[in-house]
Amino acid sequence: MDFEKLAEVYEKLEKTSSGNTMREILSEFFRKVPKDDLALVSYLTLGQIASEYESVILGMAEKSVLKAITTAGAIDSSKVKKIMQETGDAGLTAEKVLQKKPRTLVPLSKLTIDELFEKLHKIAKTSGSGSQDLKTNILASLLQKSSSKGAKYITRIALGTLRMGVGDMTVLDALAIAYTEDKSNKKILEKAYNICPDVGVIAETLAKKGLKGIENIDVHIGRPIKMMLGQRVKALEEIGEKIPGEVTVEAKYDGERIQAHKDKKGKINLFSRRLDNITDQFPDLVKYLDEAINEKEFVVEGEVIAVDNDEKPLPFQTLMQRRRKYDIEEYVKKIPIQFKIFDILHLNGKSYLNIPYYKRAETLEKIVKKNKEIKLTERIITDDLGKTNDFFKKMLKSGYEGVIVKSRAEDSFYQAGTRGWNWIKWKKEYVKEMVDTFDLVIVGAFYGKGRRSGTYGALLCAAYNEDKDFFETFCKLGTGLSDEVLAELPKKLEKFKVEKKPARLIIKKEMEADVWFEPKIVVEVFGAEITKSPFHSLGLALRFPRFVRFREDKKAEQATTVKEIEDLQ
């Protein structure tokens, strides 16, 4: 398929500010895409060349991309730099330069989606001496072969700045409409996507095998499963109402949730909550798991925490120092870890997703050889709310966040990617006068005044409406931002800056921001209470919000949901 056709769709998507219109544009286009190209089109529309968990990175800096534009346009580099200064966008720069492409550079054949995909992967795989020049030359050849409009979007894909506002759920909606004529079938696609978070696999399976093929998608070792989430309640007494009878009460830690996969060849991969492959950052955990679980293949989940020499938990920020590309071995020694395992999703060829929780827990007891570094979560089994509260207090004294109460019913299955009532979290914040912390998405910013002049004075934050796949504003965040965070914000957010309100953001005129951002960055926010608000699109607002930290372990769609907030009312 000619890439120019996809570029025309991108142009339409970029101009719309309506999420519904986006779905219509995409579904209409998907119907015309050859089935063999649909997976590639789905990836590219998200600005990717593979699923996120595959960690395929183009690794192109703006300097190299501008050099490719210079080569493709056969123009002096100083002119390219000048256009870049005027537009502030490498994509627009490529479009302007390639509009004046000399006739001698007009390609004999058109750029296909297949060729674009193949060469972008070649760029990603290129490394070593002279790799930057080779990457630049490959990109230049793609730009020369495309139209000026196509060059704009190729450039943005290369830099990871496509920013059209299309999300995973937008693509699933459009696929459901295109191939089943019924948007409600998105629920079937979403359920499969939670087990197989690969939009290319979902798209191709739907196109070639229909909904029957989608329903047969199951766990695959090496491909992460979207993690199950817990609900929250306003009072401890509500737990007994939501999960009657005997429950398991487990410790809740202030660490990083990890899903570990071991395949038949003995290779272990570690995936974060964002589904990023973080195996290289925890070589010690790979070794510990290999020693502690003597099984041919498995998928287990747990929480990794940083500990001191006495095995006492250290803050989350300390653990985050392990998230690095360099000096990994040094930090393995500097910041020791423990992995607290709490679930098993697959074992030796058998999926455990539809096995009751208590049986999954029994399996873990049998296969995990507990040691200093690998442990099962601290837990009790009880039907007594008083004992649950005693255990909760004990966990707080141990330095943990609180507890997770889990159903032991026969239907207590692992609900991938779902926030269900089989798990309920109860944290220390809930017993104070203040409400729980919320994970909110930065969607806009307001310029600072006075001491904050020259940076952002406040951030516009939103919750995620998972039913409708859009974001609704919930608070203006200005408190708790240290001088260091304020100085960091413009650079951190620059990559996600967009010229107009994102299409999947619902706002009221009172919350028109000075600057808009594609919903990507998640922050943890603490507040005094939830109140009704005529100014926020959610209809509710968080009073006295205070910045706690960036949640780089979460994607925007993993933020606190509108339903969660409404349920706390």
Residue 25 within a domain = no
Q: Which residues pair with 261 in a beta bridge?
A: 269, 299
Q: What is the CATH number of the domain that holds 545?
A: 2.40.50.140
3-state percent breakdown (helix, strand, coil) of the chain, nearest 5:
45, 20, 35
> How far is the C-alpha of 192 from the C-alpha of 176, rounded, in Å?
13
Structural domain tally of the chain? 3
506 in the same domain as 563:
yes
Cα angle at 271 between 270 and 274, to 5 degrees?
A: 165
CB neighbourhood size of 215 (10 A): 13
Q: Which domain holds residue 408?
A: 229-431
State the catalytic residue, choosing from 252, 427, 476, 554.
252
> How far is the C-alpha of 411 from the C-alpha of 290, rounded, in Å?
31
> How far is the C-alpha of 525 from the C-alpha of 532, rounded, in Å?
18
510 in the same domain as 465:
yes
Last residue of a domain, one of 117, 141, 159: 159
Residue 190 within a domain = no
Sequence-ordered list of residues with C-beta below 8 angstroms from that of 509, at least 6 positions apart, any chain: none
Contacts by 210-216 with C-beta closer than 8 Å and gap 24+? 210/179, 211/180, 211/185, 214/188, 214/189, 215/188
> How far is the C-alpha of 133 from the C-alpha of 141, rounded, in Å?
12
Residue 9 within a domain = no
Burial of 130 (0-12, 13-18, 19+ CB in 10 A): exposed
pLDDT by residue for the chain (569 residues), tens only, comes to: 999 999 999 999 998 888 889 999 999 999 999 999 999 999 999 999 999 899 888 878 899 999 999 999 989 999 999 999 999 899 999 999 998 766 555 565 789 999 999 999 999 999 888 888 999 999 999 999 999 999 999 999 999 888 888 999 999 999 999 999 988 999 999 999 999 999 999 999 999 999 999 999 999 999 999 999 999 888 888 999 999 999 999 999 999 999 999 999 999 999 999 999 999 999 999 999 999 999 999 999 999 999 998 889 999 989 999 888 888 999 999 999 999 999 999 999 999 999 999 999 999 999 999 999 999 999 999 999 999 999 999 999 999 999 999 999 999 999 999 988 999 999 876 665 445 789 999 999 999 887 777 789 999 999 999 989 999 999 999 999 888 888 888 889 998 998 889 989 999 988 999 999 999 999 999 987 889 999 999 999 998 899 999 998 899 999 999 999 998 87
Q: What confidence score (pLDDT) does residue 430 get?
A: 66
> How far is the C-alpha of 184 from the C-alpha of 496, rounded, in Å?
31
427 in the same domain as 550:
no
Residue 528 within a domain = yes
Helix, strand, or coil here: 85?
Answer: helix
Q: Which residues pair with 2 in a beta bridge?
A: 112
Sequence-ordered list of residues with C-beta below 8 angstroms from that of 252, at least 6 positions apart, any chain: 395, 400, 401, 402, 403, 404, 425, 426, 427
387 in the same domain as 311:
yes
275 in the same domain as 146:
no
240 in the same domain as 105:
no
Q: What confidence score (pLDDT) does residue 57 get?
A: 83
Burial of 187 (0-12, 13-18, 19+ CB in 10 A): exposed
Q: What confidence score (pLDDT) does residue 298 get?
A: 98
Q: What is the CATH number of the domain that holds 65?
A: 1.10.3260.10
Q: What is the CATH number of the domain that holds 303?
A: 3.30.470.30
> How far is the C-alpha of 452 from the C-alpha of 298, rounded, in Å?
51
Helix (H) or strand (E) holding 38: helix 38-45
Residue 17 within a domain = no
Report pTM.
0.87
Sequence-ordered list of residues with C-beta below 8 angstroms from that of 415, at least 6 positions apart, any chain: 228, 422
442 in the same domain as 411:
no
Q: What confidence score (pLDDT) does residue 104 get?
A: 55
399 in the same domain as 459:
no
Helix (H) or strand (E) holding 300: strand 298-306
Token duo for residue 140: 């230049």
Q: What confidence score (pLDDT) does residue 453 get?
A: 76
509-545 burial code (b ≥16 CB/10 A, e <16): eebebebbbbbebbbbbbbeebeebeebbbbbbbeeb
Instruction: Return the C-alpha torsion angle 134, 136, 142, 143, nearest 10.
Output: -160
Write the DSSP assignment of 366-430 as a string of letters: HHB---SSEEEPPEEEES-HHHHHHHHHHHHHTT--EEEEEE-STT----TT-EEEEEEEEEGGG
432 is catalytic: no
Last residue of a domain, one of 119, 136, 159: 159
Residue 400 within a domain = yes
382 in the same domain as 271:
yes
> How far is the C-alpha of 300 from the C-alpha of 272, rounded, in Å?
12
418 in the same domain as 487:
no
Last residue of a domain, one of 431, 464, 482: 431
Among 131, 136, 139, residue whose Cα is nearest residue 64 = 136
Residue 339 within a domain = yes
Packing angle between helix 62-73 and helix 90-99, nearest 10 degrees?
Answer: 10
423 in the same domain as 297:
yes
